[in-house]
Chain A
């Protein structure tokens, strides 16, 4: 009791605060880590000329539920950066479709000058795979362009 304040009034040398100056560094480090490890799309774009449409609507589905099927002018089909022959398409899409619990949306990305017969064959394959929702991917056509044409 002789000691004043029970010996607690000595000032402690260790700071009781969290060091805030390095917080920003930590946050940046995390940020850079996530930037480097994030993967956006699994397939790269094929060189196609897009068809245009005025009534094009946004695809209302999560990105992971959209499967892009690319089709070049000569009718070659690409999915996930790999070429496919037409009869193999349904065998590849079918399991994917049932795995996604029937919520898979197919986005057909075909060159504007592809002969329609290939697009029809692709549709037949998709019907065989049981797919119901299909989108013909287009670029939005501006009305101004249409008037000029």
Chain B
């Protein structure tokens, strides 16, 4: 543990302060063409006509690509986990969010590329759009997705991430108080200072060199190879220098399309999104709707929790099922609640697809849980530190998904927080440990959930 607490220099510090760090946009390849995308100007529509011939005939235009140029049009970000694909790389029958790419152009310079995009003829039959996840199951709600408005492919035909633990009816029958809350964090744009950018170079040996700003280089490699239907040894991805990501550069947003342009034009191609594209078309953190009802005793035990979560996936699934699964595992926060009934839905809307952002699926539920803990403490007239310590995860407690905690840190964390803010705790809370429950901290209602940490 030589590094913990020591002052170590950043390995990239000197390069950063001298301007020598080479971001993707700083890679210099002679003869590089500029890419621009035709993006949907509407939120939801059928595409009734698409004609790129005028753009293709323009002087200085070297390649135009549409859905017809993609060897495998649909490949899901979770396809490798057996989850079916739902998103075309370039829109074919229709568009489901404003900004969805329909066609791309590679031209001698940025202005020519923009003129060529403007020369592409596309016709839409607009459809009503859905933006509010709470309305997704209304009978008159627009249908966003060919799977319906709810993602239907959790285990087998399950349309939700579901957790049932203990006896939720017993908990609500024995509660002194039911505490309810609704929590609705909004979507957030990651807004990295470096917008999405990709440079692809077709090499003489038939390989493609792909300079990527991806946060997930090997993952992107698989996505590109699948869409292009080429073996991995045809791709050389160069990455590792990311001008801010925060989760917004996990999805493979630009590599595949830039690669297709470079192959078709047989020239190096660069695609750098504008700030406007980054705001309007890139992924965001999802909007969430969370409803919590807790069965609480007057002395501060949380006997049970019912929770409903709606997660705004945007127009396609991407990583949302994974995010909601993580969310479900964390829906009791750092606290042990023995009786649970949780239902989490991935809801499709006509917004840009959402993705990871700094604690994917967990940040939202932590906000809800911690706010809810304060609400319970206030209603019971209890110290918010004490109610947290009382219900804190201990060695041997089990998580919502049945994992036995061997190394929980809730108790120490709350002790440090109390000390940092100068909050006096009564002696029995101050001396509390994270060790296995016993005595007053192992009331009858927590017995059944205790597991064996050694068996883990």
Q: Are A and B part of the same complex?
A: no
Q: Which residues of B contact A (CB under 8 A)?
A: none
| Chain A interface residues (CB < 8 Å from chain B) | none
